[in-house]
Amino acid sequence: MGNASILLIDNRKSLIQNIRKSFSEIDVKYTLFSAANEKEAWSMLDGSEKIIPIPKIILIDINSTNNKGLQFLNAIRNHTDLKSILVFVITDSKTDKNKVAALNLNIAGYIPMSFESQTLNSFMTVLNDYWNIIEFSSQK
């Protein structure tokens, strides 16, 4: 991913550790920021704890972070400087209502998956391949 900058929004420490381990196992260069909830993430994107440069990718389980994930996605899509961030919803939930709502907010992908090491490695490999073939603007 050419030193990717990713923001993971999830309150499960084990998931954060598993994602870091997965990146390491497939030899991905990355900077992974993590936020326990949407409020913390917003501060990192447009508040007092702002990350510079803004991450190009957000990974979020909208079903596990206080059920405010859809409101958060809507705020991103309506923000001039944030609306182009690629958002991937990764979840072990089968809730179709949230899936449809997230897809309607122009997410890059809704990935139903377990968070086991092998499944994460497969997803991170695909994400790495995707990151390496798309082009981003050099602007914000």
Number of domains in the chain: 1
Q: Does residue 20 lie in a domain region? A: yes
Q: Does residue 16 lie in a domain region? A: yes
Q: What is the CATH number of the domain that holds 80?
A: 3.40.50.2300
Q: Does residue 119 lie in a domain region? A: yes
Exposure of 93 in the CB half-sphere (CA atoms within 13 A): 17
- pLDDT, tens digit, 9 for 90 and up, residues 78-126: 999 999 999 998 887 777 888 888 899 999 888 877 666 667 788 888 8
What share of the chain has pLDDT > 90, as a percent?
33
Would you state the pLDDT for residue 1?
47
Containing structural domain, residue 82:
4-133
Would you state the pLDDT for residue 66?
59
User: Within the chain, how many helices (H) and strands (E) appear?
Assistant: 5, 5
Q: Does residue 138 lie in a domain region? A: no
Q: Does residue 8 lie in a domain region? A: yes
Cα separation, 100 vs 45, in Å, equals 25
Could you tell me the pTM of the whole model?
A: 0.86
- Does the pLDDT of residue 74 top 90, yes or no? yes
Would you state the pLDDT for residue 26?
83
- Does the pLDDT of residue 131 top 60, yes or no? yes
Whole-Å CA distances, 81 to 11, 60, 116: 25, 19, 34
- Does the pLDDT of residue 135 top 70, yes or no? no
Q: Does residue 38 lie in a domain region? A: yes
What letter would DSSP give residue 27?
T
Cα separation, 71 vs 54, in Å, equals 19
Cα separation, 65 vs 11, in Å, equals 7
The SS3 assignment for 62 reads coil
Q: Does residue 110 lie in a domain region? A: yes
Would you state the pLDDT for residue 33?
94
Q: Does residue 79 lie in a domain region? A: yes
Average pLDDT, whole number, for the chain?
83
